[in-house]
Structure 1
Amino acid sequence: MKADIHPQYHLIKVVMTDGTEFQTRSTYGEEGATLNLDIDPKTHPAWTGGTQQLLDRGGRLSRFNSRFGNLSFGKK
């Protein structure tokens, strides 16, 4: 096998949206890096039953609504 072809696997700190932290092993960043989550299982609608609203972070939702928001899809 070839040497040094695999990414480095090390400990990082993950910070959830509510501020809780935990350490895990990952190939993200460097040793001791911090990964701040925007959406996690405590806030994502798939895990919360859809009661929370996702923020439109990239403008995609507003762009979609501006293009297709006035369609009725056959409903009157």
Structure 2
Amino acid sequence: MLERLQAALDNNDAQGFSRELGNIAKLRSMAQLAKDTGLGRESLYKALSGEGNPSFGTILKVIHALGLKLNVQLPERTV
């Protein structure tokens, strides 16, 4: 699942990223995720379905609550 999450990010696929994050969240318990993020369970289901349009703040809250990290890297330069 993490590979698909990374692939969606690499391909600039926001809907795919949200959907894969939602798949991970479902495995961990959406009810617990709602408690940990302070967001409504139904709102999370919709936001992470791949059909929703979650805010970046929501994505960050979910990533943090799942114990994941989002890293930014500069592309490698060839000489």
Do they fold alike, i.e. is TM over 0.5? no
Give the number of the structure whose alpha-carbon radius of gyration is greater. Answer: 1
- Relative contact order (C-alpha < 8 Å, sep 6+): which is higher? 2
TM-score tier after normalising by the smaller chain length: under 0.3
Q: TM-score, normalised by structure 1?
A: 0.26
- Higher strand share goes to which structure? 1
